[in-house]
Amino acid sequence: MRFEISRGGNGLTYEIRNLVPIAQKLEALGVKIIWENIGDPVQKGETIPEWMSQVLTDIVWENRSYAYSPTRGMDATRAFLAERVNARCRVHLSPEDILFFNGLGDAIARTYSSIQVDARVIMPEPTYSTHLMAEVLHASFPPNTYRMNPYNGWQPDLRELEHKVKSHRAIVGLLIINPDNPTGYVYPVETLETVVRIARENDLFIMADETYINIVYNGQKTVPIGDVIGDVPAISLQGISKEFPWPGARCGWMEVYNADKDPIFARFINTILQQKMSEVCSTTLPQMAIPRIMSHPEYPGYLQDRVRHYEKLSNIAYELLKDVPFVIVNRTNGAFYMTVLFNESVLNDRQFLNIESPEIKSYVEGIAKDIEHDKRFVYYLLAATGICVVPLTSFFSPLLGFRMTLLNKDVEEFEHVVRTIGQKISEYIQSSK
């Protein structure tokens, strides 16, 4: 062929889904798979309530739901969302400050691709894979990162962040994920205010992925970036995939703050909009559903019940894993994931779990060669138990560990899964002694 792929495309893997064909192979060999790799509440047994199904049914009967939407998104929906923001915070948004996408993956890809190729966005480490891949594909180089500290509850290292943005003039933007994925960390208002100060003093824009902004528990409160942003240019990324939940709708949106205060940032946002023009529009039906679902009298209680369930699972997982030897576990306070970190130097390439089937054993031994040590554990755990978690190194982190979900509707089954994970951690690490 007469071309080469982008350097940024080499070696990129989306391990959350990369695990699926491996799990399917094991499933074909007789292993019952327990999917803890992807944040899909529907896949894990959550059902859409009758009232929400009725809302969607009513919309389906409207011819307008089958038509193109405006490029920015449905006018009424953008007005509804802007009004909600304006009722909450001091920064005024107009409907023109809201732009819809086909899921936040679409929004993220277009945001990074609209930045000059030698300009960079600094992001947390570990970071969610979609941001990582979009930044690498944009720049063709590994991302600039600031550490989330597992020894301090996964709080961001703000001193490192400030040092890096002062030292690397190519950094033009700063990403936060609040609540964080994969760690479940929830940013307190003081930390957000420091992030805003750093951005203001260094002439950066802020990108705040707030997908899980309303999924917070254990007494924590989330503060949307719009409440503290002041005059700093910023983008808030939000969607319905986790909150309704409706991941298959592929419907997310961008809230733009202070584009009128910076002409370069305004051109940046316009570039994103022009990219959307070539796509024509985003999904119409889910956009039409947003005001009707969010304003429905059943919605607050429905969401609260779901959040209470995640809180329960978070605390069960923490209590069952916190005393497991060889790992560090922080209580999750937002989103629906928990990250388990292995102690330094406890993993090696000689460890294993007992697997009775010779065929399965041979298969996992074949795929577990010359890979990251946490990925090796994940593959053995999958083959031995059917439990599918995601290695922490796939979130661009040198730390070794894994991310699991807090989504199982059956509490007893969830307890069994977590206990099994704890037992297998000990068995695996001690297998080489």
Residues 64 and 284: beta-carbon distance below 8 Å: yes
Domain spanning 7-46+300-430: CATH 3.90.1150.10: yes
Question: Residue 12: what pLDDT?
Answer: 55
User: CA 65 from chain center: how many Å?
Assistant: 29
- Domain ranges within the chain, ordered by starting residue: 7-46+300-430, 64-294
Taking 3-state DSSP, the helix, strand and coil percentages for the chain, each rounded to the nearest 5, stand at 45, 15, 40
* Strand 252-257, strand 98-101: pairing: antiparallel
DSSP 92: -
HSE of 366, CA atoms in CB hemisphere, 13 A: 8
Report the pLDDT value the prediction gives residue 13, as an integer from 0 to 100. Answer: 66
Nearest CA to 148 out of 192, 109, 180 is that of: 180
Q: What is the pLDDT of residue 245?
A: 96
Low-confidence spans in the chain with pLDDT less than 70? 1-13, 433
Token pair for 133:
């891949």
Closest CA to 178 of 189, 191, 187: 187
Say if residues 150 and 124 touch (Cβ distance below 8 Å): no
Angle 152-156-157 (CA atoms, 0-180°, nearest 5)? 90
Task: Dump strand ranges (E) for 82-185.
Answer: 98-101, 120-125, 145-149, 155-156, 171-177
**Helices (DSSP H) in 249-331: which residue ranges?**
263-279, 284-294, 299-321
Which pLDDT score, from 0 to 100, does residue 380 have?
98
379 φ/ψ angles, rounded to the nearest 5 degrees: -65, -45
CATH number for region 64-294: 3.40.640.10
Pair 400, 24: CB distance under 8 Å: no
Cα–Cα distance for residue pair 319/316, rounded to 1 Å = 5
- Residue 382, token pair as written in the block: 């999958």
* Cα–Cα distance for residue pair 44/29, rounded to 1 Å: 22
pLDDT of residue 3: 46
Q: What is the pLDDT of residue 142?
A: 87
Q: Name beta bridge partners: 120.
A: 171
pLDDT tens for residues 313-325? Answer: 999 999 999 999 9
From CA 56, how far away is CA 202, in angstroms rounded?
45
Task: Write out pLDDT tens, residues 222-267.
Answer: 999 999 999 999 999 999 999 999 999 999 999 999 999 999 999 9
What pLDDT score was predicted for residue 148?
98
| Amino acid found at 202 | N
Beta-sheet strand order (sheet of 120-125)? 98-101, 252-257, 234-239, 205-209, 171-177, 120-125, 145-149, 155-156
Contacts of residue 232, defined as CB under 8 A and 6 or more positions apart, other chains included, come to 196, 199, 200, 204, 205, 206, 257, 258
295: DSSP letter: T
